[in-house]
Structure 1
């Protein structure tokens, strides 16, 4: 009989102790999840994550000293296998959230989210075969990327030229928020084939997960709002 998989290791980063306590209570009650550390500032979080090497970090975006954006950049810029970062925020359309996603966060979660959404978010980001709350991520990318780069035809062509036609089709479906299984059904191919194409897209774009691939698609103009 095979041993059960190791639990997902989680670090909580928030300057409000009450928020950390609530998050710990929810996550620690779930099978397969383990909160291994807490930090009250971004400055504390960076060495803590390096020491504990968690799978997922829940990161508050607005903190004194070092905010969640800078902390995310520093965490993801070190180590060969950095954790997935989920930004925890009060406002979903906050420009800070988009900046955190551009810095490498895999998604974001509202502080008013239900407990089951929190648990699902951690598991989904760790598995990384779908966007975390795709409609919200796409809306943020469309709004903020459009404002930052109004003239992007050359960038769109450059991105397209890096991909095969199949990979370009997969990226468009990723930007629509489809999971691997949904892409497989849409393209009438096997899930393993989709996984291979997704991996090739991430490698060619130089990004580490689907969220960054979707942001790159919007910022280059390869995918346009609507």
Structure 2
């Protein structure tokens, strides 16, 4: 049986460049026991399986997998799946994932989600003293028992930071754009941010002192592929 996979890039820059590839699959095509195998076969940092909303509903359900494990929450696949649903004529207001109910909104070219900071996994956070030190960091120097989030200000007054994420423990040696980490660092710094990650992906965040963080970004559709 051939499974249709839509490949998106999530958190592109304003020109549609960069972004983190994501596989989106209608969950009706794949039974739960086979989903981890499909995610491993595809090899993207995350693959999301979406239960389409019922007619007239503005809520959907989804499950998220890395090449190695299932995640209860991850920002980049939820933003991507929410954008994809709107493109299918099914815009939603909430997306249920194992961690909880994520609020969804659309603002022109931006798709945004609001999530609790505690839903994101714990990361080892490194505040580096320069952009040069950040660029020089080698993923091989960091142990694979936890995810490592490295960051440095590029414009502190404007809330712009540069970051990298090493996540070998979930099968992703370096992640191009990480929504869950954006939630954590926004809550950690307690301010709105523009996060430039990886080669140039862009994540916009808004901090709420009640523990919610809004994560927004742009999405590009790179087409459909199939796996067996």
**TM-score, structure 1 normalization:** 0.33
Q: Pick the structure with more helix per residue.
A: 1
Greater C-alpha Rg: 1
State the structure with bigger RCO (CA 8 A, min sep 6), 1 or 2: 2
| TM score, norm. by length of structure 2 | 0.33
Higher strand share: 2
